[in-house]
Amino acid sequence: MANKLIGEMGLHTKISNIFAARNIITAKDALSMTEFELMELLDVGMKEIRSAISFISEATSPPCQSARSLLEKKVENEHLSGHLPTHLKGLDDTLCGGIPFGVLTELVGPPGIGKSQFCMKLALSASFPVAYGGLDGRVIYIDVESKFSSRRVIEMGLESFPEVFHLKGMAQEMAGRILVLRPTSLANFTESIQELKNSILQNQVKLLVIDSMTALLSGENKPGAQRQPQLGWHISFLKSLAEFSRIPIVVTNQVRSQNRDETSQYSFQAKVKDEFKDNTKTYDSHLVAALGINWAHAVTIRLVLEAKSGQRIIKVAKSPMSPPLAFPFHITSAGISLLSDNGTELKGPGINTIHARGHSDMINFHGDCS
Amino acid sequence: MISFGRRKSPAIEETSLATSVMEAWRLPLSPSIRGKLISAGYTCLSSIASVSSSDLARDANITEEEAFEILKLANQSCCNGSRSLINGAKNAWDMLHEEESLPRITTSCSDLDNILGGGISCRDVTEIGGVPGIGKTQIGIQLSVNVQIPRECGGLGGKAIYIDTEGSFMVERALQIAEACVEDMEEYTGYMHKHFQANQVQMKPEDILENIFYFRVCSYTEQIALVNHLEKFISENKDVKVVIVDSITFHFRQDYDDLAQRTRVLSEMALKFMKLAKKFSLAVVLLNQVTTKFSEGSFQLALALGDSWSHSCTNRVILYWNGDERYAYIDKSPSLPSASASYTVTSRGLRNSSSSSKRVKMM
> What are the beta bridge partners of residue A330?
A337
Tell me if A45 is assigned to a ligand binding site. no
Classified as helix, coil or strand, B243 is: strand
More confident residue, A289 or B161: B161
Q: Looking at beta carbons, which residues of chain A come within 8 Å of B312?
A: none
Q: Which residues of B touch A81 (CB under 8 A)?
A: 172
Q: Point out the residue among A28, A40, A266 whose CB comes nearest to the CB of B31.
A: A40
> If pLDDT is split at 50, 70 and 90, which confidence band does B212 have?
very high
Residue A249, pLDDT score: 93
Within 8 A by CB and 6+ apart from B73, the residues are: B27, B28, B29
Interior angle at CA A55, CA A50 and CA A58, nearest 5: 120
What are the extents of the domains in chain B?
22-76, 94-350
Do the annotations mark residue A115 as ligand-binding?
A: yes
Look at residue A233 and tell me whether its pLDDT is greater than 70.
yes
CA angle centred on B47, ends B43 and B53, rounded to 5°? 105
- Most A CBs within 10 A among B321, B322, B324, B363, hence the mutation to make, goes to B321
pLDDT tens digit sequence for A341-366: 888 877 677 777 777 644 333 333 33
CA distance A344 to A324: 8
Q: Are B193 and B162 in contact (CB under 8 A)?
A: no
Query: pLDDT at residue A24 above 70?
Result: yes
Report the candidate in A34, A227, A240 with the shortest Cα–Cα distance to residue B250.
A240
CA distance B89 to chain A (A): 33
Question: Is the ipTM beyond the 0.90 threshold?
Answer: no
Phi, psi (deg, nearest 5) at residue B180: -65, -40
Cβ <8 Å between A56 and B225: yes
The confidence score (pLDDT) of residue B12 equals: 37
Q: What pLDDT is stored for residue B16 in this prediction? A: 35
Main-chain phi, psi angles of A221, to 5 degrees: 55, 50
Among B168, B290, B300, beta carbon nearest to A293:
B290
Contact A2 B133 (CB under 8 A): no
In whole angstroms, give the CA distance from residue B326 to residue B136. 11
Annotated binding residue at B130?
A: yes
Cβ atoms of B188 and A340 closer than 8 Å: no
> Could A71 and B268 be called an inter-chain contact, meaning their C-beta atoms sit closer than 8 Å?
no
Q: Do A57 and B224 touch (CB under 8 A)?
A: yes
Q: What is the mean pLDDT of residues A246-254?
A: 88
Which pLDDT does position B334 carry in this prediction?
Answer: 83
3-state secondary structure string across B88-121: HHHHHHHHHHHHHHCCEECCCCHHHHHHCCCCEE
Mean predicted confidence (pLDDT) in B155-160? 88
Each residue's pLDDT tens digit, A274-330: 444 444 433 334 577 877 877 888 888 989 988 877 878 888 888 887 788 899 998
In this structure, which topology does domain B94-350 adopt according to CATH? Answer: Rossmann fold (3.40.50)
B72 is in an annotated binding site: no
SS3 assignment, position B239: coil
How many residues are present in chain A? 370
**Using N-to-C axis directions, what is the helix angle for A35-42 and A46-60, rounded to 10°?**
120
Across the interface, whether the CB atoms of B170 and A242 are under 8 A apart is answered no
Look at residue A212 in the predicted model and tell me its pLDDT.
79
Report residue B141's pLDDT band, with 50, 70 and 90 as the boundaries.
Answer: very high
Segment B190-208 mean pLDDT: 62
Q: Which residues in chain B are closer than 8 Å to A323, comparing Cβ atoms?
A: 345-347
- pLDDT at position A356 is 67
Task: Report the alpha-carbon distance of residue A67 to residue B7 in Å, rounded.
Answer: 44
Closest residue to A266, CB basis, from B215, B268, B318: B318
Helix axis angle, B259-280 to B220-236, nearest 10°: 10
- B129 — phi, psi (to 5°)? -130, 160
Cβ distance of A320 and B175 shorter than 8 Å = no
CA separation for the pair B164, B155 (Å, rounded): 24
To the question of whether residue A116 is assigned a binding role by annotation, the answer is: yes
Out of A58-62, A193-197, B13-17, give the one with best mean pLDDT: A58-62
**Domain A72-261+283-357 falls under CATH 3.40.1670.10:** no
Instruction: Provide, as residue numbers in chain B, all residues whose Cβ is less than 8 Å from the Cβ of A320.
Output: 137-138, 141, 168-170, 173
Check whether A74 has a pLDDT greater than 60.
Answer: yes
Architecture of the domain made up of B22-76: Orthogonal Bundle (1.10)
Label each residue of chain A as H, E or C: CCCCEHHHCCCCHHHHHHHHHCCCCEHHHHHCCCHHHHHHHHCCCHHHHHHHHHHHHHHHCCCEEEHHHHHHHHHHHCHHHCEECCCCHHHHHHCCCCEECCCEEEEECCCCCCHHHHHHHHHHHHHCCHHHCCCCCEEEEEECCCCCCHHHHHHHHHHHCHHHHCCCCHHHHHHHCEEEECCCCHHHHHHHHHHHHHHHHHCCEEEEEEECHHHHHHCCCCCHHHHHHHHHHHHHHHHHHHHHHCCCEEEEECEEECCCCCCCCEHHHHHHHHHHHHHHHCCCCCEEECCHHHHHHHCCEEEEEEEECCEEEEEEEECCCCCCEEEEEEEECCEEEECCCCCEECCCHHHHCECCHHHHHHCHHHHHCC
Contacts of B300 in chain A (CB under 8 A): 263, 265-267
Give percent above pLDDT 70 in chain A. 83
For chains A and B, CB pairs below 8 A equal 232
From the list A32, A96, A235, which residue is nearest B254 (CB)? A235
Does B131 belong to an annotated binding site?
Answer: yes
Pick the residue from chain B with its C-alpha nearest to A347: B324
Nearest alpha carbon to residue A68 among B144, B339, B311: B144
